[in-house]
Amino acid sequence: MDMYKTLPPLHNISGECVLQRAVLVRKKLSVKEGGGWLSGTLFCTHFRVAFVPQDSQRPDDNADPVLLGDHDVALASIDKVVAVGPSRTKLVTPNGSLKFTPEELVLYCRDLRVFCFLFDRLTPDAQVMEITYTIAKTYQPLKAGTLLSFQNSALGSVEMKQFLSNRRRDPNMNWFECSADWEQELERAGATGWRVSSVNDRFEMSTSLNRFTVVPHRVLDTELKKTFAHFNDGRIPRWCWRHPRGSDLLRMASFQNNIYHEKDDIRNLELVLFGGQQMCVIVDLGEEMPSPADIQVAHTRLRTLCLGDISSSVSVPDDKWLSTLESTRWLDYIRCCLRKAAEVACLLRGGHMTVVLQELEDRDMNCVVSSLVQVMCDPHCRTVAGFQSLVQKEWITAGHKFLSRINYQRDCDKEEAPVFLLFLDCVWQLWSQYPARFQLTEDYLLALHDSVQLPLFSSFLANSQRERCRRSQHLPQSYTPVNGLRELPMGEPEEPVDPPFPPVWDWALQYSSSRRARFTQPVSQAPCIPPVLNGNLNTNLERSWHSDGLPGSVFLLSRSSFSNPSNLLPWRSGNSGSYWKSHRRAPSAEGLSGLERLIRACSLSDPSENTTTLHDPFEPILLPLLIGPCVRVWRGCYLRGALHPQAFTHPMFSCSQHPLDQLAFEVQELGEKLAQASVRHPEHQTRQQEPRRLESNLNQNANNGTFLFSSRSSQHQPPASRATTRPTNPSRAPWTASQPSRSAQRISGKHTFLFGHQQESQSVQRYIPSPSAKYPKHPSKTS
Amino acid sequence: MLSLGGGGAKSTKPSFVSYVTPEEIKLEKELPKKEKHPDLLPGEVVFCSANPILKHTQDDHSQRGVFGTLFCTNFRVTFISDEMSQEETDRNFKNKLYGENDIPLTCVDHIYGVYDEKRKLITGGLVKNKYPSKMVIHCKDLRVFQFCLTYTNEEDAKKIFQGIAHHCLEEKSLKCLFAFSYEGTTRPDMQRKRDTILFDSPEDWAEEMKRTKTKCRLVTENENFDLSQKLPKYFVIPSIIVDLSSHQGKGLPIWCWSHHSGCSLFKASFLPVAQDDGDFQNHLDTMINAVAHNYLYSVKTEDLTESLPTIQDIQQSYNKFKQFFLIDNATEFWLSDVKWFSSIESSGWLDIIRQCLQKAVEVVECLEKDNTNVLITEEEGTDLCCLISSLAQIMLDPYYRTLTGFQSLVQKEWVAGCHAFLDRCNHLHQKDKDCQSPVFLLFLECVWQLVQQHVPAFQFSETYLTVLSDSVHVPVFSTFLFNSGYHRESFMKVESPLAQSGPLSCPSVWDWSLQFNSKAQNFFLNPLYSEKVKQTVRKPHKHKHQRQLSLPSTAFKTPTKKGFFKDEADSLKKILRVKRISRWMGSPDSPIAATWEFYESWQRRPLDYHGLLLPCLDGPAIRLWMQRYLRWIPEVHIMGGGSVAITSKLMELLAQVQDLKRVLEQRDSSQSAKLDKRTHLQHRPVLLGSAGHNSSFPFAYSRNRSFKPIIPTGLLQRIVLTDNLASQGDDVSEFDKVAFSDPYDA
């Protein structure tokens, strides 16, 4: 403990002790950090390799981030340690020995970051050797049991547990952990005819599903129970999202074979599948999409390509880069996912049908495609809060097997596949093509990408919601929630979260406020208008038609074509002769031509619509361009670690320190000055002007959902009545009354803008820890 | 408001696909026979015309097109649509000389004729008898036009086809180029006012020498091209050289630029292989000695022909490369898409760019790190020498990264430096195509790579580079019309009495107001340029641009190669005798390691956009110039997205900052005078209309709507298949209707 007095301070988390340190170390800064070198002191603890810059101030105890400083790397993220000597490089293994004193230490991380530390000549050799050995010994990525010890060293201390249990969850996002959350989502999407069923509350119907499922209104729980058996793993068709034009997106696993279809069952199955619509398109994600194994192979190849490892000295010649990139097939898979999602989005736009995503297990590609569709169609999902809700809805609670897919413990290599990272890359492609339509930024996606490799978050540490809930039940009750005001979900005896493992969305644990500020666009609107416009408008027609219980037509969308195989729905094809005649349905001619018309119309009208009518009441779909030159490598992610000196040039253009930031700030500052000036003077002309501009802003944004573009050029446009009518929308009123606190926040968040309203938007958008959440004390003070 | 959300199929917009074949349209529509005339430029003459011609807007087998009249003039092939297009008027970025339906004759790359569904390349001989049903014109600025000739009468069709083929493809003399008939308003008074230094007077050179503080000597003896016709009118050589006349000025080391340390960059052409070995040797010695004498007796010579591809290689590679972008059939493009990366790579164009930048970095390293003089040589000294020396200067000297600086650089190295633009661009459509090579385009490509890697360091934008690359093929500007200074002078002198209107003066390309209005010229400027603090007074002939000391002077470290020349002169001579030119003679170490070190030392310095810039050359860093190559392909346009989204927002914010500042200033200054400030805020220049633009703004226009599905998997084609399926299903559905009567039990 005495070393704290003399050294630049390492801001310890509780229970952490420093194993080794080295002075006079320089860290190579990445392009994003501005390039060049930073000198300071290197520490190695049980939990992380920390680097403290020389001139850093002593942090006060409440400073964030809690777990990792800006220059730190968690031991669990480290993949390889390479020592660079005067003339050679060596991969340092826990048991290996070094025959030379390293001049440079390179840490390759699992999240494709590379940390490079340069030792000074004045650094004592002993320190250099020791810290190299210590890091090599402690990171041990492959040994069983290390995961637990790592987690314990990070979060195991009493103070930390106390601290974490008092963290408040982000109220802006939807956690989908109680039925009210789902109802809120139904409300937001404007979906009627659906209800939240808690038939799986104790995970009796399906172990991998969430507690709550959204099913059609008219299916009773008792009837619903019978349908589970017909689907693989009991993953019945569940509602995900409703397009503003009135079609619903569902997802399900494949049908269970060899099961007898009773008449009642069939009725229920059809009901569940069709919702309130007359047409149903089943989108098969089995054959065309890459399998998890494919994704794993592609990602491994991409990794080796991008992360030129200096210890192996295998590198691709520069002139062969493009073809090698092509041969990894990673971009092909991205294209494949985006294409499928774009198809589904076009379909949904047609309106009045259910689109059901079907995959064998419903736990990988269904997650990717359903969430991509929503990112494309729903501007709310392009905000940070909306995106987090989306991941929560379609991935975490939906039972994506994070634990096996990420393979933290290296015990299920066969299952390992970075499906979630593929999804993030797809979102990045969308982002890079339409940066102005997103509130979130590349930095945010990167942060999420990196967090996946850190085995500390409840979000990623389980294969299903059941496992998550189980763990929380087995917890020792050594602490109690201090914050009693926290609302408990209806009928929930237990805490929904797992206190020792925080959710990944608690960004303050990992990122400092300055870095978190970069998660959102500098010039943007806060949470966007949810696409509630007319979700239940024209459903009446169908409703009446449907009330007879007549089933509609079913089509299969596979390989970009529609077909109607007779065995699409097993109960309709009917192996048993008695049902064959009465239940077989062929497509009616109108059905198909209608479908044809809508797809054609969508694909044709969409691009032109953007240009001709800027004020489309529907958010135009973000249809990504998928041809060769438009799908690109995520440089900011995969290539940030390249150590080639040329690749390391500092002046490369980076989006993080985007001049937009500075300019937006400048505009704001000047605006404030102006406002002040006009306060000082009697005339108020300019002040009056400010709100007017804001209003036109709002309308513009409400109309076409663009985030970045305020309507400078279209100020002549009269203020539309749309924005003012929305709050009084009768369908929203009851809910608003029942949930005053949340809705108040949401609505206030909805109308925040950068210009002139900075303080308000910050207070709503950015996460602020509750005052009761005390930071764990410095060990020297507590012990 | 509610009605907006009507049923899905109903609310779709009217699509623009024509389901009527053009033949039907023809029958329906009695075409009005009113003659339309193109707005001719002064001096422009119409050769022939034909009406009606169908111009295909998109070839996706939809046969959609616009009827109009096709003209062939002495400047361009132009198509005037019968329909009035309003879009034309409100476009910001409009070229005054030629519109979107105009093809300057020198801009035509290839013409294909479609005979009975077969496409044939049209050459001069094939023209005579038959005319094709469809004519496909590939332009050098990568546009593709398709004209259908079947609707006009045979005589007209034949005439227009032969006329176009003749004027675009036949070899012609320089006098036939439009520049010599063009009677644009030349303003001699305006010409001097331009900021760009043209390097056509001794004063220009003297200024440049003063700016770079060189000790070399300006040669004015060649003013009348007495010394050599291949040498520039004025040039600068090491002061020690006295004998200018031997070997017709071949092998003279011509000064390009001086580093602040004193070492300089020279370029030279090869000496003719002489019969008299001794004389040859002596001359070579003198020259190298002279270069070495310039600074510290150190010199590195570099033969560019040895390490870089030849100009024929460059031409071949570019021919392959551009084929990926000259798309006259959109489906082809979807097909090429699968193997996109490897096919781009196989053309080798990106690798050539990399090699050139690499070579320039090596030159920069010698100047910056070793402080040695560098002499680059080449057969003529006017192709790759220009390329490498200008690239090195851009990397080293921030002045050349400004708009005027860059233009001056092109004047100095390329125009005054006698780059054979006429031959390289093949304006005259000479049959012998060995001389043709896109060297200047390659230079712009390299600069573009630098620009996109170091955005804030350049005052000009990529749009500027794209426009410049287009202007090369517009036969109006004297800049790109001649092979050398002598060529220019002699031609102008001969021509001027014929014109009988004083000295013939073609405008320079740098007079951008000829092509674009001032609003459009705004797009040339990079909004992200980090301007130098109050030093950037860009007055002509007053070079306030002081070069920055990019790296601290390495004077304390004695240059390693100092004085090596004297010691090793003998061995040097031997090398020279064998290979005529040496390779890197200076560094015994492996050049790769040295370059690595050079990069590292550069990275350690704090970032300075007004200092040395080095490009990143590894695989992922060399990129495709999307704006130039993909701008005409609507399939690649991201509607309302792409980088233009950011740029337009930036420009908007910049304007806003300026406005607010102005308002604040005014408020401070005139508190008593109650001005309505609102007018100022609303008077903001609307630079970009934001969301309506696509990623290839400002080149592709909103007119270019994509008629192909965004989803490239051919949903539409599949649907045609399912149509059959539906008709098959009809009989079943009859059966089904019966079955329907048996409802599911409730």
Which domains can be identified in chain B, with CATH numbers? 46-170 (2.30.29.30), 202-523 (no CATH)
Q: Give the minimum alpha-carbon distance from B715 to chain A in angstroms, rounded to a whole number.
A: 6
Mutate to test the interface with B, among A343, A625, A667 (most CBs of B within 10 A): A625
**Which tokens sit at B571?**
């061995």
What separation, in Å, do the N-terminal and C-terminal C-alpha atoms of chain B show?
38
Chain A partners of B647 at a C-beta cutoff of 8 Å? none
What is the mean pLDDT of the segment spanning A736-761?
A: 34
Q: Give the minimum alpha-carbon distance from B317 to chain A in angstroms, rounded to a whole number.
A: 14
Which among B2, B453, B684 has the least Cβ separation from residue A534? B2
Sign for the CA dihedral angle at B238, B242, B244, B249 comes to: negative
Q: Give the minimum alpha-carbon distance from A743 to chain B in angstroms, rounded to a whole number.
A: 24
Chain center to CA of B485: 22
In 3D, which of A455, A517, A442 has the Cα closest to residue A64?
A: A517
Mutate to test the interface with A, among B608, B687, B690, B704 (most CBs of A within 10 A): B690
Q: What is the pLDDT of residue A768?
A: 37
Chain A partners of B347 at a C-beta cutoff of 8 Å? none
What is the mean pLDDT of the segment spanning A552-560?
A: 75
Alpha carbons B482 and B489: distance in angstroms, whole number: 9
Q: Is the pLDDT of residue B726 over 50?
A: no
Chain center to CA of A720: 33
* A514-550 pLDDT tens trace: 888 888 877 654 334 433 333 333 333 333 333 334 4
Alpha carbons B396 and B389: distance in angstroms, whole number: 11
Q: Give the minimum alpha-carbon distance from B237 to chain A in angstroms, rounded to a whole number.
A: 34
Chain center to CA of B508: 16
What is the mean pLDDT of the segment spanning B417-426?
A: 90
**Residue B519 Cα distances to A221, B460, B513, B516, B522, angstroms:** 67, 15, 10, 8, 5
Chain A partners of B668 at a C-beta cutoff of 8 Å? 677
Instruction: Tell me whether residues B664 and A674 touch, CB distance under 8 A.
Output: yes
Mutate to test the interface with A, among B653, B674, B704 (most CBs of A within 10 A): B653
Instruction: Tell me whether residues B657 and A322 touch, CB distance under 8 A.
Output: no
**Residue A759 Cα distances to A508, A756, A769, angstroms:** 19, 8, 17
Chain A partners of B340 at a C-beta cutoff of 8 Å? 326, 627-629
Burial of residue B404, with CB atoms counted within 10 A of its CB: 0-12 exposed, 13-18 middle, 19 or more buried: buried
Which among B603, B616, B732 has the least Cβ separation from residue A586? B732
Q: Give the minimum alpha-carbon distance from B349 to chain A in angstroms, rounded to a whole number.
A: 10
**Which tokens sit at A157?**
């201390």
Average pLDDT score over chain A: 71
Sign for the CA dihedral angle at A533, A538, A544, A546 comes to: negative
Q: What is the DSSP letter of B525?
A: B
Q: Give the minimum alpha-carbon distance from B589 to chain A in angstroms, rounded to a whole number.
A: 15
Q: Is the pLDDT of residue B351 over 60?
A: yes
Average pLDDT score over chain B: 72
Instruction: Tell me whether residues B635 and A609 touch, CB distance under 8 A.
Output: no
CA atoms within 13 A on the CB side of B729: 25
Instruction: Tell me whether residues A350 and B8 touch, CB distance under 8 A.
Output: yes
**Which tokens sit at A406?**
């990420």
Residue B684 identity (one-letter amino acid): R
Sign for the CA dihedral angle at A509, A514, A515, A521 comes to: positive
Q: What is the pLDDT of residue A308?
A: 66
Q: Give the minimum alpha-carbon distance from B254 to chain A in angstroms, rounded to a whole number.
A: 31
For chain A, domains (ranges, CATH) are: 18-140 (2.30.29.30)
Which among B599, B674, B715 has the least Cβ separation from residue A599? B715
The H or E element containing residue B300 is: strand B299-303
Which among A603, A647, A685 has the least Cβ separation from residue B676? A685
Instruction: Tell me whether residues B663 and A651 touch, CB distance under 8 A.
Output: no
Cβ neighbours of residue A740 closer than 8 Å, sequence gap 6 or more = none
Chain center to CA of B211: 28
Across A56-89, b (16+ Cβ under 10 Å) vs e yields beeeeeeebbbbbbebbbbbbbbbbbbbbeeeeb
Chain A partners of B663 at a C-beta cutoff of 8 Å? 674, 686
**Residue A654 Cα distances to A131, A637, A642, B530, B646, angstroms:** 33, 12, 15, 15, 13
Q: What angle do CA A651, A655, A661 make, to 5 degrees?
A: 110
Cβ neighbours of residue B405 closer than 8 Å, sequence gap 6 or more = B397, B398, B399, B459, B545
Chain B partners of A560 at a C-beta cutoff of 8 Å? 711, 713-715, 718
Q: Among B280-284, B395-399, B473-477, which stretch is predicted with the lowest mean pLDDT?
A: B280-284
Q: Say if CB A56 and CB A71 are below 8 A apart.
A: no
Instruction: Tell me whether residues B645 and A670 touch, CB distance under 8 A.
Output: no
Which among A321, A437, A581 has the least Cβ separation from residue B620? A321
Q: By 3-state DSSP, what share of chain A in percent is helix, strand and coil, each rounded to 5?
A: 45, 10, 45
DSSP readout, B141-179? TS-EEEEE-TTS-HHHHHHHHHHHHHHHHS---GGGSGG
**Which tokens sit at A729?**
């929308």
Which among B17, B684, B707 has the least Cβ separation from residue A712? B684
3-class DSSP state of B239: coil
Mutate to test the interface with A, among B669, B744, B745 (most CBs of A within 10 A): B744
Cβ neighbours of residue A686 closer than 8 Å, sequence gap 6 or more = A674, A675, A677, A678, B663, B677, B678, B681
Residue with tokens 């910049």: B654
Q: Within a 10 A sphere around the Cβ of B730, how many other Cβ atoms?
A: 12
Q: Which residue of B has its CA nearest to A661?
A: B650
Report the relative pairing of strands A238-242 and A279-284 from DSSP bridges: unpaired
Q: Where residue A78 falls among pLDDT bands split at 50, 70, 90?
A: confident
The H or E element containing residue B184 is: none
B664 against B473, higher pLDDT: B473
Q: Where residue B53 falls among pLDDT bands split at 50, 70, 90?
A: confident
Q: Give the minimum alpha-carbon distance from B454 to chain A in angstroms, rounded to a whole number.
A: 6
Q: Give the minimum alpha-carbon distance from B10 to chain A in angstroms, rounded to a whole number.
A: 9
CA atoms within 13 A on the CB side of A692: 13
Chain A partners of B638 at a C-beta cutoff of 8 Å? 433-434, 625, 630
Q: Give the minimum alpha-carbon distance from B658 to chain A in angstroms, rounded to a whole number.
A: 9
Q: What is the pLDDT of residue A184?
A: 92
Instruction: Tell me whether residues A319 and B354 touch, CB distance under 8 A.
Output: yes
Q: Is the pLDDT of residue A586 over 50?
A: no
**Residue A728 Cα distances to A733, B2, B598, angstroms:** 7, 15, 66
Instruction: Tell me whether residues B7 and A534 touch, CB distance under 8 A.
Output: no
Chain A partners of B590 at a C-beta cutoff of 8 Å? none
Chain B partners of A36 at a C-beta cutoff of 8 Å? 603-604, 606-607
Instruction: Tell me whether residues A628 and B641 touch, CB distance under 8 A.
Output: no
Alpha carbons A334 and A626: distance in angstroms, whole number: 9
Q: What is the pLDDT of residue A63?
A: 55
* B402-413 pLDDT tens trace: 999 999 999 999
Instruction: Tell me whether residues A596 and B723 touch, CB distance under 8 A.
Output: yes
What is the mean pLDDT of the segment spanning A639-643?
A: 69
* A335-389 pLDDT tens trace: 889 988 988 888 888 777 889 999 998 999 999 999 999 999 998 999 999 999 9
Q: Is the pLDDT of residue B546 over 50?
A: no
* A269-283 pLDDT tens trace: 888 888 878 888 899
Q: Which residue of B has its CA nearest to A672?
A: B660
Chains A & B: contacts with CB separation below 8 Å: 374
Instruction: Tell me whether residues A36 and B339 touch, CB distance under 8 A.
Output: no
* Backbone φ and ψ of B625, nearest 5°: -80, 85
Q: Is the pLDDT of residue A239 over 90?
A: yes
Q: Where residue A143 falls among pLDDT bands split at 50, 70, 90?
A: low
**Which tokens sit at A429?**
């492609």
In 3D, which of B115, B122, B103, B213 has the Cα closest to residue B166?
A: B122
**Which tokens sit at A8?**
């630049």
Q: What is the pLDDT of residue A623?
A: 79
* A415-464 pLDDT tens trace: 899 999 999 999 999 998 888 788 898 899 999 999 998 888 889 988 99
What is the mean pLDDT of the segment spanning B177-202?
A: 70
In this prediction the ipTM stands at 0.75
Instruction: Tell me whether residues A584 and B739 touch, CB distance under 8 A.
Output: yes
Q: What is the pLDDT of residue A121?
A: 83
What is the mean pLDDT of the segment spanning B431-435?
A: 76
Which among A434, A611, A644 has the least Cβ separation from residue B692? A611
Q: Say if CB B105 and CB B77 are below 8 A apart.
A: yes
Q: What is the pLDDT of residue A292?
A: 93
Chain A partners of B639 at a C-beta cutoff of 8 Å? 607, 610-611
Chain A partners of B616 at a C-beta cutoff of 8 Å? 646-647, 649, 652
